[in-house]
Structure 1
Amino acid sequence: MKKIALTLAFATTCFANATLAQDSAEKPPYENWVGVFGQYHQADSDKPDPVGGLDDGRGLGGELGFRFDPTWAVRFELTRLLIDNDSSVAASLADDGTMLGADLMYFLEDDAAYLFGGVREQSLRDSYRMVSLGVGKHWAVSEDWRVITEAAAYHDIGQNYQDFSLKLGLAYIFGERSTGTIERPDSDGDGVYDAVDRCPNTPPGTQVDATGCNIDLDGDGVINAMDECPRTPVGVAVNERGCPLKDSDGDGVTDDMDECPDTPATDRVDEVGCSVFEQVEVFVEIDILFENDSSEVTNPRSELILEFVDFMNRFPNTSAVIEGHTSAVGDTDYNQALSQRRADAIRQLLIDEYSIDASRLDAVGFGESRLKFNDDTEEAHRLNRRTEARVTATVEEKVTRD
């Protein structure tokens, strides 16, 4: 019965091989191999019934494989096993025997690994019929040689025993071989086979997606798979979803980047859509004339004084020096004192009448040392009887568009 079961398993596997080979009759042959291996085998500790006691052991064997297309192969193997006993079980003994098997193998893309399943006939003290399931890889070391690594699990069909094994081996490749690539037509040469190409007439050189279509049909820089607006007109700026961006205030910065969305149309803006400012120096001057030999301010609400006060209020961090002057007529020392009284009069007016902080104002008399006009005329003397002040501040002003 055991031999019959194994024969049926082999026949089933060979039939699958023949069927698949027939389906691929038009395809080139693939590599076959013969190999030897060493094996670590972990037997179920319940074996043999009823005493149990088997432990792990080792095996040495050989295998023969036939690969008939890029993904499918069949393999036959014969292993000599020597299984140790568990010394804690007095009645248990070491056991040796053979294991004969056949597997159907499925190779992943680029031979990254393979999966396999099949049947085993294990003959130790008793015989066990098992199904196998595992994973492995053939590591190419040369054109003709492969290193075999493999892990497998075995399930006894009749008694539910569970075995495990690890394999390390060396295989020799024989027979005619190929790259394992099946020729599939690609009429437009875009790298996508005709069978899945939804755009079969793509112009040469066009970058395409997995379906063979232009990867960015509207040319907006967003690939079709992510593009929610696939028909965006050429040249229109789009967001990460491929949809047109808006510029509500027309400043050249799209709304998604605009931190100042209501910029006036006349303003130049920066990269985030906000008005650009530049520092500009502004100033105000005061020039008050006095009567001859007088320090009285005859018009304390003159336009010049009001303009000066307004500037000082708008720029509270500024300060001023009020300068007093006289004409060249009269005694020099007297003129010096007169110019100081004129400067003090303007300073005190700004403090008392306009509430300018006294710490922001100084008064200095220059007498006749700084004449504006040197002519010895009544007009020149009149214009020299004066007080002057200049206040400067730095402000930021908007830059207009070109």
Structure 2
Amino acid sequence: MKQHFKMAALSLAVISSTNAFAQDSSEPAYKSWFGGSAMYYNTDESRPFSDGVADDNGLGLTVEYGFRFTQSWAARVEFTALELEYTDNAGNSAEDDGEMTGVDVMYFMPNDQWFLFGGVKRQAVLESTTLGNIGIGKHWDVHENVKIITEIAAYHDFGEDYNDYSVKLGLAVPFGKATPSAPKDSDNDGVVDGKDQCPMTPAGVRVDATGCSVDNDNDGVLNSVDQCPNTPAGTKVDATGCALKDADNDGVVDSKDMCPDTPAGVKVDAKGCTVFDEETVEITLRVLFDNESAVVKMPKDPEISEFAEFMKQYPSTTAVIEGHTSAPGSEAYNMDLSKRRAANFKEVMVDMYGIEGSRLETIGYGETQLLDNGKNAEAHRVNRRISVTVKDTVKVAEEK
């Protein structure tokens, strides 16, 4: 039963190969080859010989001729001069020469990456036996006319239940290389498929060297769909190849608009660029201090925050922080106190609001610039202060 099963499996493989051959009729890369190889042959330890029992190895020299029917399918005949080692009935190591001949059906993978093969061999060493074999191999390209053969094969005896295997290394010389067929041009646009980047070009459309429709006005829209084929160079166009009249709605067509992203609601000149007016901006801040104190009591006061935001909005501005005191006290004391008040306010601007210190200058006036010359508490309160004024001329977009 086991032998019948093995024969049925081999028959099924042959039938499958025949069906696949009928379906594959592509031209092979080369039509035939001659080859020569060295073989290492390993016998099954249980394999019997009439004069003894097989040992574990043998060596052979193989010559072969192969013929490719298609790109995928081929057949070959082989002859191997084989020498096997064995142990004779007296227990001594011995060896005997013989031969192995046979045929294989071969299947090459795409681009000849590797191939599978299977066939029948007749081996005559000490005694004759018929073997079925399967294997895998590759023809390695080393030169236009030379290939390296590498193969591994397994063998099964049809009469006895044992298995051998072999490893083969050699050289093959291919013959009858296929003649390249004329390049195809599927869409008949004059550009072969291998170079055609637009393989489905409609009939009659003019194409460039890549097989794509020509764009005569270089507006990015192919001639086949360009409804405005003579758009001036650099003009922005829509999907039909026609100029966008005024993308930013500033009253200047895009072909003449030098500032294509003008904000909405501002005036523009003939080139589509914003018209600016010069405007003077100014802010004044006054901060009061307690009697004989240089501490800024409320550094997060809204007026102080507003002043800091103004400085950030107009980063080219600078400021002079003026420190003042009321009249009571000595002139020297009041001068020092006014300088400390100005310095402390600068520190708040730098540390709390992130204003660069180089933009802020401080000066102390002591009691020399009183706002109120009175001798009462209210006069003293308004005189204890710092004051700072920032003014700048900036460009502001003119509104429509």
Higher strand share: 2
TM-score after normalising by structure 2: 0.47
TM-score after normalising by structure 1: 0.47
